[in-house]
Chains A and B, each alone.
Chain A
Amino acid sequence: EVQLVESGGVVVQPGGSLRLSCAASGFTFDDYAMHWVRQAPGKGLEWVSLISWDGGSTYYADSVKGRFTISRDNSKNSLYLQMNSLRAEDTALYYCAKPELRAPMGGAFDIWGQGTMVTVSS
């Protein structure tokens, strides 16, 4: 079964740091670019970041650029999101998402994790 399982979400103070993880299974992980998408409580979906299949290229939404770092370990079938200088507006459910195509951006997201909740509050 193709599956993505996120972890690492907690309550953190403004200015704090956190690392999210996403464990992938059921597909050839290093064939695909991977994405993080977030959803603030009661709000819509916001794309956060993209990493190429080999980790050589990374892209970010302007709202997180310079504060978040996406990475992957293909030997562990794992995706990560290092989040620094957290703000209240980063409070959201963070999903990792697999694109359906083996292409730089990959098209539609055919597999989503269940999400991990990050709350930034003092």
Chain B
Amino acid sequence: EIVLTQSPDFQSVTPKEKVTITCRASQSIGSSLHWYQQKPDQSPKLLIKYASQSISGVPSRFSGSGSGTDFTLTINSLEAEDAATYYCHQSSSLPLTFGGGTKVEIK
């Protein structure tokens, strides 16, 4: 099973700051890494697919990078509406797995 380790678990950030969340895979997954945003009492929403591909309708302040085992989600100029928990997810091999999540709080 591919284990995805996210860091940090929690981040408290002021608006307009830059946020960086990392996801490390226990073995190489190429670019088969996706990022989701989940706000309280909502379903997860796809933010970035295949490590760095943008999703229509997602603000351009969200970007992703990485390949192999190390991946990063970056939120440039954080806005209040970005308060949420962010998850990475690998679709390289079964069982599919998710990272433990990173909760982003707005100061």
- A residues contacting B by CB (< 8 A) are 35, 44-47, 50, 59, 61-62, 95, 99-100, 105-110, 112-115
Known: A44-B98, A47-B98, A108-B91. 4 other contacts (CB 8 A): A47-B96, A107-B50, A107-B91, A109-B89
Residues of A within 8 A of B101 (CB): 44-45
Among A44, A107, A108, A114, residue most surrounded by chain B Cβ atoms (within 10 Å): A108
Q: Could you tell me the distance between the alpha carbons of A62 and B98 in the complex, rounded to whole angstroms?
A: 15
- Out of B46, B95, B100, which one reaches A110, CB within 8 Å? B46
Q: How far is the CB of A64 from chain B (nearest CB, A)?
A: 10
- Known A-B contacts A95-B43, A114-B43, A115-B43; the reply to A105 vs B94 at CB < 8 A is yes
Residues of A within 8 A of B49 (CB): 100, 107-108, 110
Residues of B within 8 A of A112 (CB): 43-45
The size of the chain B interface, using a CB distance under 8 A, is 22
- Out of B38, B45, B96, B99, which one reaches A105, CB within 8 Å? B96
Q: Is the interface of B mostly helix, strand, loop or mixed?
A: loop
C-beta contact mask, B96-107 vs A, less than 8 Å → 1, else 0? Answer: 111111000000
* B71 CB within 8 Å of chain A: no
Residues of B within 8 A of A109 (CB): 34, 36, 44, 46, 89
Q: How far is the CB of B87 from chain A (nearest CB, A)?
A: 6
Q: List 30 A-B contacts (CB under 8 A).
A: A35-B96, A44-B98, A44-B100, A45-B36, A45-B38, A45-B87, A45-B89, A46-B98, A47-B97, A59-B95, A61-B95, A62-B95, A95-B43, A95-B44, A105-B91, A105-B94, A107-B34, A108-B34, A108-B49, A108-B89, A108-B91, A109-B34, A109-B36, A110-B46, A110-B55, A112-B43, A112-B44, A112-B45, A113-B43, A115-B43
* B5 CB within 8 Å of chain A: no
* B32 CB within 8 Å of chain A: yes
Residues of A within 8 A of B98 (CB): 44-47
Q: Could you tell me the distance between the alpha carbons of A100 and B91 in the complex, rounded to whole angstroms?
A: 12
